Structure 1
């Protein structure tokens, strides 16, 4: 694979402010900051060094934090020609024990990353994903086993299409998945599985496609919005460009009502403090409390757009016989993976969105969330952030826990 093509693949694989238009204000200085601690680093997968992984399945079942699968570059960095490796190991950590350490709890049916996972009362639903050769339709329920350290895996109905780099959420017995690549193509896909039926013979229901651009690596979260109704909120993600059209990185927060079966634009993401657009591509989103959501992490809009649009710009430069421009673009491509961490400007702010007042609040900037492809969950008023990339191709083994 040539270096220019790989840069695009890295951008595609980055397996959760100011006033918004509804009148929200940046209340950063008025809001209590999040206090962060560290849990034990995730051990190395399959005998490799403890480097951390990107895009694993994550969740909590009982008091056990589970991390399964994911990928990294164990032998040498991607900038030096390293090869991405996918994993099948399952690791658990007892959150109720002060001095707990990670325990190996079995293996997944296959090595996989870039799927979607979400905690439910029945266990952690893990869906889709890919390895270096294929994308998958697999769906299964991962849960802790009270009689042994090994986790239990129960198959669930397969997705109707292969899916990777998509998002999942859960509410009132139903799992929803949206976006990503469906059968290898950037998609508007939106499906639902009713877990309350407690049967392996159920089927995924196709729901209305979301509007606008396709969204590869979006975030999806469910939250109640009054009168016991809930909605699903979709943000982030991008639609890759072609040699003729630029990529699209939407900044709208979309909302879907299961009651009416319709999508609408809820609001837009507040811009960054420098006035540039914000994206949640490769980021995280979690519900907290009875009317709020937290959004954080992911790539920087400008850095990411420039990277994924660079191949098109090269085509234009060649067509125009603009040698100077072409050489500059080639130099940028060659250097893209070699910059220090701070250059990539991954999103380090935690944004709080209240669905009732439709306002944004900035909860502060933290190194712990400046990652892409991290796992994230909100458990017992604690925000847990698992591994992820700190720059393209470089993971962290850290597991951080934020106290509210």
Structure 2
């Protein structure tokens, strides 16, 4: 990962918070667990999650910025889908939604949106693994996808719950069994796959050599370096670890870098590059879950309260430096690069509440500014 382009000392870093109603107009619906991209013309597209099948766009070039509806998504309403912008089109991958029988299930379908025609189309291709909790980014005209839960275990849990016939005792037994297993028993996805929109074919970039994760944050640069930060390693248990990868042809070489966030780690954080610096913010965790797990209590988050982080970190010389704080703790929104900074759009806050507002983070010399 490219080094931070300016000198920064741990005890001399300052941050500013600018109070506005919102750095962007309020989203038409409170927005969390959805997805979004920015195109080459600086037009943002967001949708799905708490927005249902709705999608909206905003032209960041305009002085009078506003969210405008686009064509509704034609597929199943879903959460935790990811999207990328390649060659003028938006591609949406996976997520989880309801089957025709009403069961919650992992999805493998792929949709393309053509902005010029304002049209969606389902591609005749399916991902080789179920895609929930996965992360996506682009490289050399392809979508690279990694991480995510195990489809059979995820689907099986909801099938078992549906078969309880509202028997509270049986339901509690299923819940305890599902959450009470060690990390390795969840078989989170470690395969790194690529999708070529020209051929609609899938390829492999090998296997992630460390624990599979869900809800990790991917930070990419313009070269072939990437960071994968935190994420959950089993339901309710996060990891504070971070890894750097270098793409070399049809493989990615990985090595660990310094851990970040609290000892419990977070999932659903925000990340990007600001003035050449890797920045990581927000995310959600269950404080105390790591300690419980080490002590053999595999239902590690049982009885714990989810906490939403407001901390912002900068990566420098293999160290994560605490740069400041967001105005609120937040997770599970959309990260968008803009104006040499990072937009945080929507997200989930305390109590699971969906946020209709946005924030803008920017690093300049020794200061982190947060506009919202």
Shorter-chain TM band: 0.7 to 0.9
Give the distance between the partners of 1:36 and 1:125, measured in 2 at CA. 35
Give the distance between the partners of 1:28 and 1:350, measured in 2 at CA. 15
1:97 aligns with 62
Which of 331, 338, 341 is equivalent to 1:379? Answer: 338
2:135 aligns with 167
Give the distance between the partners of 1:362 and 1:348, measured in 2 at CA. 11
Which of 212, 215, 222 is equivalent to 1:214? Answer: 212
C-alpha change, 1:165 and 1:88, in structure 2 (3 Å) is: same
Shift of 1:387: 1.2
Partner of 2:287: helix, strand, or coil?
helix
Summarize deviations over 1:192-222 as a string: whole Å, max 9, x none: 1234xxx2x3311122221232201111222
Give the distance between the partners of 2:71 and 2:332, measured in 1 at CA. 23
1:346 aligns with 308
1:400 aligns with 359
C-alpha change, 1:377 and 1:271, in structure 2 (3 Å) is: closer
C-alpha change, 1:350 and 1:278, in structure 2 (3 Å) is: farther
Give the distance between the partners of 2:324 and 2:148, measured in 1 at CA. 29
2:258 aligns with 268
Shift of 1:173: 1.8
Superposed CA RMSD: 3.3
Summarize deviations over 1:223-273 as a string: whole Å, max 9, x none: 25xxxx5123212112226xxxxx75332212222217344333122354x
Give the distance between the partners of 2:144 and 2:298, measured in 1 at CA. 39
Give the distance between the partners of 2:203 and 2:90, measured in 1 at CA. 20
TM-score by length of 2: 0.72
Which of 107, 111, 132 is equivalent to 1:136? Answer: 107
Give the distance between the partners of 1:219 and 1:299, measured in 2 at CA. 12
Summarize deviations over 1:293-313 as a string: whole Å, max 9, x none: 22111113525658x96xx85
Contact 1:163–1:184 at 8 Å: present in 2 too? no
C-alpha change, 1:278 and 1:285, in structure 2 (3 Å) is: farther
Give the distance between the partners of 1:103 and 1:402, measured in 2 at CA. 24
Residues 24-43 of structure 1 correspond to what in structure 2 (within 5 A)?
A: 27=10, 29-31=12-14, 33=16, 35=18, 37=20, 38=22, 39-43=24-28
Partner of 2:201: helix, strand, or coil?
coil
Summarize deviations over 1:336-365 as a string: whole Å, max 9, x none: 5xxxxxxx54221222225xx434333311
Summarize deviations over 1:365-398 as a string: whole Å, max 9, x none: 1125x21211111122232111111024221111
1:69 aligns with 48
Give the distance between the partners of 1:109 and 1:292, measured in 2 at CA. 38
Shift of 1:56: 0.7
C-alpha change, 1:216 and 1:396, in structure 2 (3 Å) is: same
**Larger helix fraction of residues:** 1
Shift of 1:70: 0.7
C-alpha change, 1:315 and 1:213, in structure 2 (3 Å) is: closer
C-alpha change, 1:315 and 1:178, in structure 2 (3 Å) is: closer
Question: Is structure 2 residue 247 aligned with structure 1 residue 258?
Answer: yes
Count of residue pairs the alignment pairs up: 311
* Bigger mean CA deviation after superposition, 92-101 or 374-383: 92-101
Q: What stretches of structure 2 of length at least 5 have no aligned partner?
A: 1-6, 99-103, 154-187, 364-372
2:37 aligns with 59
Contact 1:25–1:360 at 8 Å: present in 2 too? no
Shift of 1:400: 2.3
Give the distance between the partners of 2:353 and 2:288, measured in 1 at CA. 16
Give the distance between the partners of 1:144 and 1:28, measured in 2 at CA. 47
Give the distance between the partners of 2:225 and 2:204, measured in 1 at CA. 17
TM-score by length of 1: 0.67
Give the distance between the partners of 1:268 and 1:254, measured in 2 at CA. 8
Partner of 1:213: helix, strand, or coil?
coil
